[in-house]
Structures are given as structure tokens and as C-alpha cells.
Amino acid sequence: MLKLDCGLCGNPSCRTMARKIATGDTKPEQCFNLSTRPEYRQNLQKIRQLLREGVEIGAKGTIVIEDTGITYIHPCISETGKVTAEARLTTSPEGTVDLKYGFYDPIQLCMMLSMTGFFKDIRCSPNLGVGRVTVDDKTVLIYKDGRINVRRAKDKEDAIQTIRLVSRSLWGAIICSYCGNAGVDCASGGCKNCITHVCPVISGGPPDPTATSRGSIQQTTASTIFDRVKTLETKRYFEEGVKQLDDAFDVFEKASLKVLEERGFDSSALKAIEDKIAKVNKLAIKFIVETPGAYDAAIGLILSGVAIDLTRVADGLKIVASSKKALSPKLKELFSEAVTIATEAYYAFRAVDFEKAKRTAERYTAFRKRWTEAFRKMSEKDVLTGIEKIAVNGFYMSRLLTKPLPT
């Protein structure tokens, strides 16, 4: 795919769209840029050729699902007193175990391994879908099909705790069987299906290889997280993460204003946003790992989901600011509206303001009509794609307050 993550196909990322194309759930022509821009015609032809030849992604019918639990634990051959263990994860007893898209999103898998701060000697290949890390003196291998292999654990309990640590850290990289998105994208508001239903990745909780059952799920919405978190011992991670998001959005607003006023663009603003997002993700994963209750831990996924929205908003700003030509009045108007949608959506989420969030979503619908007309007529396709990327991720945030969560 094009790696634009523009959201024009109705999916928050190109990886999700590629998975759906490979499984036959959608057609490549539904990618807006592939089907309308001559410079991508060759990409479209290549994708069609791959589909004719057959695409192997661990898709429908190609994955054998094993029983939940520990596959094996046995003594290490090379080291007396140590054990080796392997588990194959599912999304837990309540979650859907339909693996037609695979288990872990390999790119998200590698990103999250590098974010956590829990692991050392991190090596990860998105192409192979395999990660290798060190936890204390243990070597851990993680595979995109959900297998986790622990070597040189002290004993059975040490092996199981290490598997739980890895599982919780990578919760957001599990692919949702509803929509093909990584769980963190579902938590970002980017998945339409998971706005009306509890996402199976989230409802399943962090996969636990020893779990046999969990209590019945009660449903609430993401609007409750700011009150729920106040009672948790891990609230400091969430509160600091939100502060970093507030600061990052402030930097984004100021940088966008400079672009609108043609006062130049300071690339250090993007670096500042990236640094703050990295802190948010690390704090979100700490929150997930250290919060005892599985459904309370899901609050950390929402935090990470908003961070990914902001990441793509910043990407859109970078595309617009990189234009070698001055923005025309029409482009300025669309860019200004996109920035307003993104910022208003975030502040509505922070204030738990349902009416403001609803108005922002309606504002995006009106914006999208004007944007589509401009895209047909104007030659600045890249700039327009960047503008839409800002607006659509704002739209995702505007849907978060009503997103169903387990409790």
C-alpha cells in the first residue's frame, strides 16, 4: 500500500486496508489515492497482480488455532535449574479468536516493544513478524501469530509472569477480528465497528495463557475513564500521559498557526510532539501492565489511542508544511478548518463534552464534502491528503466519548 494512512478508505491505517484486500474483504480500488491518482496506477496494477498470484498473510484458512494456555514448560538443556516455556495467546475467553487477519500487527508489535521500557536488547523485524528481547536474564521471542517463547526462566511461575508482562505490553498490537485494525487503532476511535460494539480485543482483556474464565462484562463508555482512573493506584501514569498530550496539542496549534500566517515552519515543533507522544505511549503501557484489573487497564489503551491520533495529525501537518508553494486561499481555508476539527475534538474529549464532540463530528462531515470537491479540481493532491489526515483523525477523537468499553 501507499503508507499514507490518510483515512480516505474508511480505515485509519494502510496496513488495515492491505489486510482487508488480502483476505478479500475489500477491493484495492476502494483506496482513494490508488483509484484516482495516475502516479499510483503502477501500485494498483502490482496489487492486482499479487492478488491473482495469491497473497500469504496468515489469512483465512491458513492459521491453525491451538488451545489457549501454555504449550509447554520444560527444563533448559543447557542450564541446570532453569526452564523454557512457550504459550500461544488468544484474545482470552471472552474475546474473538478469529485469526483471519493474524494475531499481532507486526509493525505495531515492533513499535510497542521499543516503547515499553521493560525490555532490553530489543531486536524486531516487521517483515518477519518476530521480536527478540531480554527480560532480566531471560531471552524472550515473540511471534506475530501470538506465540511467546521464554528461555532461561527461574521456574514455572517466573516464566508465566514474563509471558504476562509481554502480553500486557503488546495488548494494543493485537489485530481486531471485527475490522482488521490493531487494537490501538480501535482504541483511537478509528474503527467504525468498534464505536458501536465493544472491541473484542479490548473486551478480551490482555491475553493470559492461564486464564480459564472471567466474569460477565458490564458495559460503559470511554467518557467514564477520567473518573474511573481517580480510584486507581496507577493513576499517576494516566495523569502524566494526559498532561503530555495537552502540551503536544498546544505545540501543534501554535505550529499550525505559523503555517497559516506564512511565518515559516519550525521542524523542532514536530520533534517536540514526537517526544511527547513517545512519553505518552511509554506511560500508557506502564499503566496497562501495572493496573491489576483487566478492564481498568483498558483505559491505558484509550490513552495510547489518542496518542496515535495525534501522531497522524502531526504527520498531516508535516505534509502541509513541506509544500514548496505558498498555500492558496482555498487550501488555507481547508487547512484551518482541519486544524479546528482536530483541536476541538481533543478538547471535547478532555472536557467530556458530548455536545461539542457531536458538533465537531458534524463539522467534519461538512468539511469532507468541501474537501472532496477540492480534491477533484485542485492539483495539490499531497497537501490535500495531509489536510484530510489532520481532519479525519480529529473526527476519530470526536467519536471517543461514546465508544463502548468493558467495566
Mark 178-213 as b/e (b = at least 16 C-beta within 10 Å).
Answer: bbbbbbbbbbbbbbeebbeebbbbbbbbbbbbebee
Cα angle 227, 232, 233; round to 5: 145
HSE toward the beta carbon, residue 393, CA cutoff 13 A: 27
Residue of 178, 184, 171 whose CA lies nearest to 92: 171
Rounded mean pLDDT, 106-128: 94
In words, the CATH class of domain 69-183 is alpha beta
> How confident is the model at residue 105, as a pLDDT?
94
Instruction: Provide the pLDDT confidence category of residue 65 given band limits of 50, 70 and 90.
Output: very low
Supply the pLDDT for residue 215: 59
Backbone angles phi, psi at 49, to 5 degrees: -65, -45
Residue 60 has a pLDDT of 34
Task: Using CA atoms of 61, 64, 69, 75 in order, give the dihedral in degrees to the nearest 10.
Answer: -150
pLDDT of 171 over the 90 cut: yes
- Model pLDDT for residues 232-259, shown as the tens digit of each residue: 999 999 999 999 999 999 999 999 999 9
- Tell me the C-alpha distance between 392 and 367, whole Å: 10
Q: What is the mean pLDDT of the chain?
A: 87
Inform me whether the pLDDT recorded for 24 exceeds 80: no
Report the chain's terminal Cα–Cα distance, integer Å: 37
Q: Is the separation of the CB atoms in 32 and 8 below 8 Å?
A: yes
For residues 177 and 101, give the distance between their C-alpha atoms in angstroms, rounded to a whole number. 7
**pLDDT digit string, tens, across residues 334-367:** 999 999 999 999 999 999 999 999 999 999 999 9
Specify which of 5-9, 100-104, 257-261 reaches the highest per-range mean pLDDT: 257-261
Numbered ranges of CATH 1.20.58.220 in the chain: 223-406
| Segments of 7-135 assigned E as strands | 69-75, 83-88, 120-125, 130-135
User: What DSSP line would sit under 329-395, residue for residue?
Assistant: HHHHHHHHHHHHHHHHHHHHHHHT-HHHHHHHHHHHHHHHHHHHHHHHH-S-HHHHHHHHHHHHHHH
Kindly report the length of the chain: 407
- Range of lowest pLDDT (101-105, 263-267, 336-340): 263-267
Rounded to whole angstroms, the Cα distance separating 359 from 356 reads 5
Q: Report which of 406, 407, 401 is spatially closest to residue 189, judged by C-alpha positions.
A: 401
The pLDDT of residue 29 is above 90? no
pLDDT at 204: 79
Region 50-69 average pLDDT: 45
CA-based nearest residue to 173, from 124, 219, 118, 108: 108
Higher per-residue confidence, 254 vs 214 = 254
Query: Mean pLDDT across the stretch 117-132?
Result: 94
The three-state secondary structure class of 182 is: strand
Judged on CB neighbours under 10 Å (0-12, 13-18, 19+), 258 is middle
Pairing of strands 130-135, 138-143: antiparallel
| pLDDT at residue 104, as a whole number | 94
Confidence of residue 53 (pLDDT cuts 50, 70, 90): low
What per-residue confidence (pLDDT) applies to 56? 47
Per-residue pLDDT, 397: 97
Return the top range by mean pLDDT from 211-220, 254-263, 312-321: 312-321
Rounded CA separation 332/206 (Å): 44
Task: Let me know if 12 is exposed, middle or buried by CB neighbors in 10 A (0-12, 13-18, 19+).
Answer: buried
Residue type, 345: A
Q: Which of residues 49 and 382 earns the better pLDDT score?
A: 382
- E strand or H helix at 177, and its extent? none
Question: How does pLDDT run across 179-197, given as a tens digit for each residue?
Answer: 889 999 999 999 888 888 8
Tell me how far apart the alpha carbons of residues 381 and 375 are, in angstroms, rounded to a whole number. 7
Contacts of 198 (CB under 8 A, 6+ apart): 217, 219, 404, 405, 406
Write the CB contacts of 90 (distance below 8 Å, at least 6 apart in sequence).
Answer: 65, 68, 97, 146, 204, 207
Q: Quick one: what percent of the chain has pLDDT higher than 90?
A: 60
What CA–CA distance (Å, rounded) separates 43 from 39?
9
- Per DSSP, what are the bridge partners of residue 150? 85, 140
Tell the residue number behind the cell numbers 467530556, with chain if given.
352
Q: Of residues 337 and 70, which shows the higher confidence score?
A: 337
Biggest CA pair distance of the chain: 73
CATH 3.30.310.10 range(s) for the chain read 69-183
Overall CATH class of domain 223-406: mainly alpha
